[in-house]
Amino acid sequence: MNDFRFVDDELHCEGVSITSIAEKVGTPFYLYSHETLCRHLQAFDGAFSDIPHLTAFAVKSNSNLAVLKLVANQGMGADIVSGGELYRVLQAGIAPDKIVFAGVGKDPEEIKYALETGIRMFNVESGEELQAINDVAVRLGKKARVALRVNPDVDPQTHPYIATGLKKSKFGIGSKFALESCVAAAKLSAIEVVGVHMHIGSQLTKVSPFVDAVKRLLGLVEQVRDRGIELQYLNIGGGLGISYADETPPHPDDLAAALLPLLKGLNVTLVLEPGRVIVGNAGILVTKVLYTKDGDGKRFLIVDAAMNDLLRPSLYEAYHEIRAVTRTKRDAVVVDVVGPICESGDFLAKDRELPEMKSGELLAVMSAGAYAFTMASNYNARPRVPEVLVRDTEMHVIRAREVYADLVRGEQIPAFLQ
């Protein structure tokens, strides 16, 4: 987070004061640091440089075109989960052969789009999906490269909503069916089985679940190869956590140090799908205090950002650090930071100690680069907020604030109501 720091009591992003950005674009807004993004991409990708690998950025974490273009410029690829994400990454210039397509429910139109684009591979999550991909590929006269997503049944020790590698979860093919699924897949005329995939969860703060899961996959790789299927890729998904509060997640180098010895001599290209670890701490949400209010035994800071802008606190009770943008020596008070939306669940922080704030003052909600803007909605008919990228001493608006006309785009009143 050292690209967001105080200079003379004013929080800056690199060389630009956040207050000055607020004066130009209004509030609320998302703000990303170019320097942090580049550093995180390089640190992650560099950690695995000893073996052939593809870093496929998880687009769901942050899908702004400028962010994706930066990923493309660094030579990295994309992990996508929808036709819409495919469209975005192509717009940003990510090479098709660096795109991997995951998700439990790809529809035939999306499959067709991906096959026509020539993506590197599909991560397949069920037998029926495999059949659907084969059918579309036959129709197009193409061959689909697939990796089977295996559910290794390990506990990632994270929030239950973002744990995906336990056998009760909807993701992947159960370990006990994995071998037969690979063999069945290889028999389909338009399918080429090229790899196995896993993704066990997000915001993992330990290396051990990755190690356990990879070990389980290695046995499978061997068995599949024994059946004459030449696997070229081992995709271990994303999931490396970040520090929101006092977590101490492993550095990508630690993850690589734990995994690379296991992969020695395996002769595969490793595919990685990091999202949060790249963008999470490269972004913040800046919001303004509208009102302060003393309830019965509670104090509220009512701010202009809400759960439609940043859903994570409401959805996962996620903790995001909040800082006053202008440092003050005022006394600390305990407050709930809440938004204008008509829901009790609309909060950014509860029972949080913050310096006494006044109407019009700015707050920075930290660690808001991942699963933040991408999960924003227009609930309560609130225009989505702008996104700004700072590079050194320059600021660039990379997504304009929505206007009211955007809110009704595509809607029509049928003639009988006119």
Task: Assess 40 for contact with ligand LLP (CB under 6 A).
Answer: no
Residue 369 or 386 with smaller CB distance to ligand LLP: 369
- Half-sphere exposure of residue 136: CA atoms within 13 angstroms, side-chain side: 19
Among 28, 48, 68, 79, binds ligand LLP (CB under 6 A): 79
Residue with tokens 């909605």: 377
Q: Per-residue contact track with ligand LLP, 161 to 200, x per CB under 6 A?
A: -x------------------------------------x-
Distance CA 45, CA 248 (A): 20
The SS3 assignment for 331 reads coil
Q: Per-residue contact track with ligand LLP, 375 to 404, x per CB under 6 A?
A: ------------------------------
Question: Does 342 participate in catalysis according to the annotation?
Answer: yes
User: In Å, how far from its chain's centre is CA 188?
Assistant: 33
CB of 55 to ligand LLP, least distance (A): 11
Contact 273, 235 (CB under 8 A): yes
Residue with tokens 């061959």: 143
Task: Assess 237 for contact with ligand LLP (CB under 6 A).
Answer: yes
Among 30, 113, 371, 373, binds ligand LLP (CB under 6 A): 371
Going from the C-alpha of 172 to that of each of 15, 109, 128, 148, 232, the distances in angstroms are: 44, 21, 12, 8, 19
Q: How many beta carbons lie within 10 A of that of residue 55, not counting itself?
A: 26
Backbone angles phi, psi at 346, to 5 degrees: -85, 90
Q: Per-residue contact track with ligand LLP, 299 to 338, x per CB under 6 A?
A: -------------x--------------------------
CB of 272 to ligand LLP, least distance (A): 9
Q: Which residue of the set 13, 38, 182, 342 is catalytic?
A: 342
CB of 316 to ligand LLP, least distance (A): 6
Among 18, 92, 102, 185, binds ligand LLP (CB under 6 A): 102
Contact 63, 283 (CB under 8 A): no
Task: Assess 216 for contact with ligand LLP (CB under 6 A).
Answer: no
Contact 144, 137 (CB under 8 A): yes
Residue 49 buriedness (CB in 10 A; 0-12 / 13-18 / 19+) = exposed
CB of 262 to ligand LLP, least distance (A): 20
Task: Assess 273 for contact with ligand LLP (CB under 6 A).
Answer: yes
- How many residues sit in the footprint of ligand LLP (CB under 6 A)? 21
Among 40, 276, 288, 391, binds ligand LLP (CB under 6 A): 276
CA 375, 378, 382, 387: dihedral to nearest 10 degrees?
40
Task: Assess 274 for contact with ligand LLP (CB under 6 A).
Answer: yes
One DSSP character per residue, 263-302 reads HTT---EEEE---HHHHGGGEEEEEEEEEEEE-SS-EEEE
Task: Assess 58 for contact with ligand LLP (CB under 6 A).
Answer: yes
Rule CB under 6 A: which residues touch ligand LLP?
58, 60-61, 79, 102, 162, 199, 202-203, 237-240, 273-277, 312, 370-371
Give the catalytic positions in this structure: 342
